[in-house]
Amino acid sequence: MKVGFIGVGAMGVCMGRNLLQAGHAVTVFNRSPGRAAALVSDGAVVASCIEEAAAQTVVITMLAHDAATEAVVFDSGFIAAMPADGVHLCMATISAELARRLAQTHAQAGRGYVSAPVFGRPPAAAAAQLFIIAGGEPAAVALCQPVLDAMGQRTYHVSNAPAAANVVKITGNFMLAAIIESLGEACALTRSYGIAPTQLVEILTSSIFPAPAYKIYGGIIANETFEPPGFTLRLGLKDIRLALAAADEKEIALPLASLIRDNYLKALTRGYENLDWSALALVAQEDAGLPRR
């Protein structure tokens, strides 16, 4: 299948490579050309403009936030360049509000739109082991399925409404942030009693919390391996804000999300914005008067 790919970051480069390995013809565009060029040796074609990438059967956008997605889709000839039977597959973590706008704009133009955000860090993306949450009309999702299968281990089609997929993704990231917050507080508590965080995490993840999320983030926090980031702290704050915005729309209180947002803001003031989002744990550690190890 002819696939356009816009946004070749840490996740995108892995996803694009898997598409190429699965035999898809991939045309990539990135505002920093060097990143797009990284896929040339795998067989990708580098587009000279956004419109060239959008002119494929399926065009994927994997951008950092709402503003970047809006700039690509609305401030260019993106939609006009799409073929009549084309589908825009947005795999970024964006707001439900933007997903609704994208779906409406594409429908008005007679083009397909699917939201398909993913669960998984760069190593999972490299191994084509992402979990993909899809929202969109069944025919549009079916067209994208061979592409999704090349990047993930399972696709969940949650709704015909694209924004529903974004709400699921936002909710999942809120829960991951809650795990990070609780691990940070737990490590601070036990460390104050002379128990090494590595020992605590090893006990917890081999007994009552054997889930991958606890093992991955527990290991990062216990060893303070916050660089290089798999997902930056500033992006973590962005996703918590998306969860709070979705809750505000329905007048639902998320008190834990509010606490986590405030701690992310603390972390920013301490200069941690470019560390992994699990560096949120440093706030609990420092508030307990414990130095970094």
**Active-site residue list:** 169
213: burial class by Cβ within 10 Å (0-12, 13-18, 19+)?
middle
Name 172's Cβ contacts closer than 8 Å, sequence gap at least 6.
119, 133
Query: Cα(109)–Cα(73) distance, rounded to whole angstroms?
Result: 13
Angle between helix 162-191 and helix 96-108 axes, rounded to 10 deg: 160
DSSP H or E stretch at residue 244: helix 233-249
Query: Cα(279)–Cα(187) distance, rounded to whole angstroms?
Result: 12
Ramachandran category for residue 194: left, alpha or beta (phi over 0 → left; psi -120 to 50 → alpha): left
DSSP secondary structure string for all residues of 159-221: ESSHHHHHHHHHHHHHHHHHHHHHHHHHHHHHHTTT--HHHHHHHHHTTT--SHHHHHHHHHH
Query: Cα(10)–Cα(26) distance, rounded to whole angstroms?
Result: 17
Query: Cα(288)–Cα(191) distance, rounded to whole angstroms?
Result: 10
Tokens for 110, please give them.
């007679």
What backbone phi and psi angles, to 5 degrees, belong to 225? -95, 70
Nearest to 239 by CA among 167, 183, 179: 167
